[in-house]
Structure 1
Amino acid sequence: MTRIRTLALTTVAVLTLAACGSSTGDRALSGAGIGAASGAALNIVTGGSVAGAALVGGAVGAAAGALTDQEDVNLGKPWWR
């Protein structure tokens, strides 16, 4: 039951962070959040180090967000703006 609850909370976190923004910083921040939550969720299901997966996912997501521009991926205005 704990895995299901954690997976549900992680899904909510990913959906909350789904807006990318237009500045490089906003895109890197939202990418890091999405990547960390996705990496953690994947390892909750498959087993392994959740913290390690969150770190790797966050780094990959931040890089992807920083290296793309608004024309590449546009999920709308971030909730913090």
Structure 2
Amino acid sequence: MIRSFPAIIALAAGLGLAACGTSPGERAVSGGLLGAGAGAAVGSFSGNAGTGALIGGALGAVGGAATSPNTVNLGDPAWR
């Protein structure tokens, strides 16, 4: 259980931070970037920042692409 704790935190962070943008592509990219950052931060506590970044990025991208901008809307992306 303790070894899977960073993965659980990365999953929660990736899904929680996913979805900034209006199109599914924008939401996947921003969710992936936010999830990778959160996953790297959490993974660094267990000595596996790279693994945490990969897991968080993948989950954030999937979560961002799967959510609707009507459900979770954090506003326009910074590049607009």
TM bin (shorter chain):
0.7 to 0.9
Match of 1:20 in 2: 20
Match of 1:74 in 2: 73
Alignment TM-score, normalising by the size of structure 2: 0.73
Match of 2:38 in 1: 38
Structure 1 vs Structure 2 CA RMSD: 1.9
Q: Distance in 2 between matches of 1:53 and 1:19?
A: 19
**SS of the residue 1:69 aligns to:** coil
Runs of 4+ in 1 over 3 A off after TM superposition: none
Query: Percent identity between the aligned chains?
Result: 52
CA contact (8 A) 1:19 1:76 kept: no
Q: Distance in 2 between matches of 1:48 and 1:41?
A: 10
Q: Describe the shift of the 1:19–1:76 C-alpha distance in structure 2 as closer, same or farther (beyond 3 A).
A: farther
Match of 2:54 in 1: 55
Cα distance, 1:19 vs. partner?
7.1
